[in-house]
Amino acid sequence: MSFLRGALVLILAGFCSKIIGAIYRVPLSYLLGAEGIGLYQMAYPFYSSAFILAASGIPVAVAKLSAAEIAHGRHHRARLVFRLALVLLALTGFCFSLLLYLLAPVLANRILRDPRALYPLRAIAPAVFLIALQVALRGYFQGRQNMAPIAGCQVVEQAVRVTTMLGLAYALLPRGVEYAAAGATFGTVTGALAGVLLLGVHYLRAPRPTGGRPASIKEKAAILREIVRLALPITLGALIMPVMDTIDAVMVPWRLQTIGFSVRQATSLYGQLSGMAVSLILFPTVITAAFAFSLIPAISEAVALKRGDLVSRRAGEALGLTVLVGLPATVGLYLLPAEICQLLFRTPEAGAPLSFLAFGCFFLCLQQTTTGILQGLGRAGVPVLNIFLGACCNALLNYYLTAIPALNIRGAALGTGMGFTVAALFNLRALDRLAGIRLDFKAMLYRPLAATLGMAAAVKAAYPWFWARTGGSPLAVLPAVLLGAAVYLLLALLTGAVPRRYLTYISSSGFRRRP
């Protein structure tokens, strides 16, 4: 169960990183204003695309191949996989970093149509190279199922990023808002550099494997081909969602306008869906993303050892924990959608799309975990195809449902949730059909479902009482949610939804480390 410890430390780091990331938004908005924030945001889609093309699939390939080599005791081969991947990522990262820097004038003037965007684009360009180096190091530690350095990197990177971002934005603001926005985007560079240095220190301190003959050029070429073979479908999959997000950004407001909404109203409704409702259902995925990240090497190790029983056990444990997280999160968002949106965004209207999207939270969690299992099994192309099918379903439903006046933005929310559902169900089917992993979902669901229903009853009963005692304050959501969480945890323990061995396991000290 070592992957559970790895997942736990990544979950804790993920929450810390989210909190740090949430803190900077208010002061940055105060410093830059809406105009500066707009310039700041303009650089990120191009940076994200450059990073995806340069590096997104290679760390998973490194983790999978390293875990398989380590399972057979070939630590020197695992280290060779890392070194070859590092060279490959350094080359691709440098090329895309340079390309982004050189194309910045064209992107700013001809595509974004704002010459001031040149400064943020060039400020963030070096981050592509640094992040490429960082993800190679992450893949090295992920393959050894040693998640502590990765978790530390996550927190340190975010802290340095936010500190630099606010400091440079404040220092450069007198020179102009475009320079302040560039200073803010440069925080991504310093954060990435801090992460590289931290992981580099851990790497240099790790024991060097002994033995093993030097690899021939033919062997190195074979390893590089395998890295590319595994990385390519993951890279394609990573590109699907940004492309679909772009299509949604055009399609949803357009379809809303066809049924009588003004441009301003359509933009506002789309913002409620994409900027508020979707961000809320993504929050629980901090946990399931950690499961997926830890599962890839854990499953790869079990496959390399030809331990089908271990593959099934680890997959079952991960999916069971995913259900434990996804069910209460989904029901909680469905119970108090307007109240949560009022508390967090001061926009209770966003509760309308959230109530139609909440079910998608459960299936998004399942999709992430099953993707990690399939990647660990060496079936990286399968979840890519399934994400594509889900994205097509999302686009088709959004086109038709958004134009139904009675649904409007709720239709787009429903389509988005169905996209996650389709991808998750096809992933589950693939686990059974391709890997022979049969899961007893009836047994996996009924105990967490009983605990979730008890939580729902407690929240529904408690919220009106807290609301009345606080004079109708939006803060009434907080004690109601905390009470619901406590009831859920208690019922999960009483019903056996959370096995007591998990608590003993989590409380045990130390994380398994590999050389």
- Cα–Cα distance for residue pair 512/301, rounded to 1 Å: 14
- Work out the pLDDT band at 189, boundaries 50, 70, 90: very high
pLDDT tens figures, 90-106: 999 999 999 999 999 99
Half-sphere exposure of 35 (CA within 13 A, CB side): 8
For 34, the token pair is 């809406």
CA-nearest of 64, 62, 75, 7 to 314 is 7
- Cα–Cα distance for residue pair 300/292, rounded to 1 Å: 12
pLDDT tens figures, 441-462: 777 888 999 999 999 999 999 9
pLDDT at 375: 85
- Cα–Cα distance for residue pair 126/196, rounded to 1 Å: 13
- Cα–Cα distance for residue pair 285/268, rounded to 1 Å: 25
Contact partners, residue 274, CB within 8 Å, separation at least 6? 245, 248, 249
For 37, the token pair is 């924030």
1 pLDDT higher than 50: no
Global pTM? 0.78
The secondary structure of residue 74, as a DSSP letter, is: -
513 pLDDT higher than 50: no
For 195, the token pair is 């992460």
pLDDT at 505: 56
Q: What is the mean pLDDT of residues 201-205?
A: 91
The three-state DSSP-derived secondary structure of 183-222 is HHHHHHHHHHHHHHHHHHHHHHHCCCCCCCCCCCHHHHHH
Longest Cα–Cα distance of the chain, Å, equals 74
- Cα–Cα distance for residue pair 325/369, rounded to 1 Å: 12
CB of 440 within 8 A of CB of 392?
no
507 pLDDT higher than 70: no
Check residue 209 and give left, alpha or beta (phi > 0: left; psi -120 to 50: alpha).
beta
Number of neighbouring beta carbons within 10 Å of residue 433:
11
* % pLDDT > 70, the chain: 93
Give the burial string for 21-38 (b: 16+ CB within 10 Å, else e). Answer: eeebeeebeebbeeebbb
Q: What is the mean pLDDT of residues 77-94?
A: 89
Give the CA dihedral 412, 50, 35, 275, nearest 10 degrees: 20
The secondary structure of residue 305, as a DSSP letter, is: T
62 pLDDT higher than 90: no
pLDDT at 514: 41
Q: Most confidently modeled of 64-73, 146-155, 209-218, 333-342?
A: 333-342
Q: Most confidently modeled of 41-50, 285-294, 307-316, 393-402?
A: 393-402
Comparing 147-161, 226-240, 369-383, 428-442, which segment has the lowest mean pLDDT? 428-442
For 298, the token pair is 């854990």
For 336, the token pair is 């108090």
